[in-house]
Structure 1
Amino acid sequence: MAVPKRKVSPHRRGNRRSHDSLSVDTYVEDNESGELRRRHHIDLSTGKYRGRQILEPNDNY
């Protein structure tokens, strides 16, 4: 059975867990509609991405 040779220090434990935290999604205000949307995502209310019409406009969002 494998047994650790020494106790892992709190510093090493913290370094290992440093990437486990959850990040908050960032939102930006759309230039045309003024609504919040995720960066690099299509605005679902207008159906546009970077000024180009990608999807049909949807009134449900």
Structure 2
Amino acid sequence: MTMGDKIKHTAEEAGGKVKEGAGRATGNEQLEAERKGDQASANIKQAGDKAKGAVDDALDR
């Protein structure tokens, strides 16, 4: 896992949170729904990063 990937995935999750707030503020249900997709995607990528990091650590030992 590179630091760049970690930052990118965290930013993607944060972007989802921004969409959620904007969707709530404007009553835009589609924007709120997009937030769920963005955050789910970011969470999956972050889990993959963690798993890859664990494998890399195990191989280094």
TM class by shorter chain equals under 0.3
Structure with the higher strand share, 1 or 2? 1
Give TM-score, length-normalised by structure 1.
0.27
The structure that has the greater radius of gyration is 1
Structure with the higher helix share, 1 or 2? 2
Give TM-score, length-normalised by structure 2.
0.27
